[in-house]
Amino acid sequence: MTIDAAHAGLSVSEHELALSHHETGRDLHGFVHRGRQLVDTLLAAGPQAVNHRGLRLPVVGWTLALRRNPAVAAVAAIGVADDVWSGPERGFRRHLRAGRTTGVLKLVGIPLVGLLATRKVSGALLVGLGANFLNQLDTRPGRALKAYLVGSLVVGAPARSAVFLLPYDLREKAMLGDAGSNALGAMLGLSSVSRLTGRSRWLAIGALAGLTFLGEGRSLGELIERTPGLRTLDRVGRPA
């Protein structure tokens, strides 16, 4: 926020206060403490970067995902590539027609990560379809995170990061982007592999595949806007 104020040309001043803190020395504990401060500084300054479309990079969403699971970290990294270098193509068919795009990278890379992480074809499908589903929903503030929280109740996925991010996303103070939405979708997929078995797992795959197919032809966001109950839930917490 302070960096934004300085960039906007606002006056920024420093005021000394009568405060003290526990100083750390030149030992292992002190270096670890200052190292954590450096990481926090990088995380705070990271969202100042923008991609070629002038949009801020969604550092907050994917850095939280990095702390969860190496597979989720890999999916988040693929999402970062899409955030930085993606073109105007939308949907699997357009990406495939365009050839070498970051969308094709996601189409191949995310299920591959799921396959390596779970050693199951069903795991690859759940991770890939889950990541794509949340990415399709990330068209309005808070929409993808709300869907993630509902899904986390069903499959037992970790919800703390999503709860933390939701108020920032709703007020457009942070952005999930492909990195954050893909990582959260991958977490849903991985948790589904652990929680669902046999028929229930393939029913989940079928449902996600159906939603993906539907989203290829029509906007899932438009369907939400046209459905009274879903529209009301979708707008909860979002500034008018």
Give 20-52 pLDDT, tens digit per residue.
877 788 888 888 888 877 777 766 665 565 555
Which among 129, 108, 127 is positioned nearest to 119, based on CA atoms?
127
Quote the CA–CA distance of 69 and 233 in Å, as a whole number.
30
- Above 70 in pLDDT, residue 61? no
The model's pLDDT over 202-230, given as tens digits with 9 standing for 90+, comes to: 999 999 999 888 877 778 888 888 888 88
Domain that holds residue 122: 49-235
Q: Is 14 a domain residue?
A: no
How many residues appear in the chain? 240
Q: Is 20 a domain residue?
A: no
Q: Is 187 a domain residue?
A: yes
Mean pLDDT of the chain: 81
- Above 60 in pLDDT, residue 107? yes
Q: How confident is the model at residue 189 (pLDDT cuts 50, 70, 90)?
A: very high
Which among 106, 108, 88 is positioned nearest to 98, based on CA atoms?
88
Average pLDDT over residues 152-164: 86
Q: When comparing pLDDT for 105 and 63, which is higher?
A: 105
Domain count for the chain, please give it: 1
Q: Is 104 a domain residue?
A: yes
Beta bridge partners of 50: 56
Q: Is 165 a domain residue?
A: yes
- In the prediction, which pLDDT does 6 show? 81
Q: Which residue has the tokens 């037992």?
A: 156
